[in-house]
Structure formats: structure tokens, C-alpha cells
Amino acid sequence: MTKWEYRTLTVSRNEINKFLDRLNILGEEGWELVSSFTIKNKSVGFFDSGAETSGIVSVFKRPKE
């Protein structure tokens, strides 16, 4: 039975240009992207500005050595 180890990568909106480089590095280390989702911030108050993406969280896995 294969056992897995997991890792997350959180990239802020300001670092989005480095995202592809980070994905390539993790891929070279044997990590496989399992899931990815955005983090949204929403202003709450009298004048609601709506939700805005502030970052991306990616979940990776690879077989345990």
C-alpha cells in the first residue's frame, strides 16, 4: 500500500508571477498537484466592495520514501 506525504503552497496575489517557477520546482522534486483553490477576501461593511482573490493555495502529494 502506497503512503503519501502532502505539501501546500500558498501564493499571494503579488507573487503570482513566481507561481509557475514554484510549480516547476515542486514537479522536479516529485510533487504532483492534487488540488488548487483561491483565497478570497471580502470587505464587510456599509459599502460592500465584493470578494477579491488575494491568493492561491495548491495541495501536492508524492509517495513517501
- pTM attached to this predicted model: 0.75
Domain extent at residue 58 = 4-63
| Residue 35 to residues 1, 6, 32, 56, 60, Cα–Cα distance (Å) | 22, 11, 9, 11, 7
β-bridge partners, 6: 61
- % the chain with pLDDT above 70: 85
The per-residue pLDDT for range 21-46, each reduced to its tens digit, is 999 999 999 999 999 998 877 665 55
3-class DSSP string for 20-49:
HHHHHHHHHCCCEEEEEEEEEEECCCCCCC
- % the chain with pLDDT above 90: 52
Q: Quickly count: other Cβ atoms within 10 Å of residue 58's Cβ.
A: 19
The per-residue pLDDT for range 40-52, each reduced to its tens digit, is 776 655 555 566 7
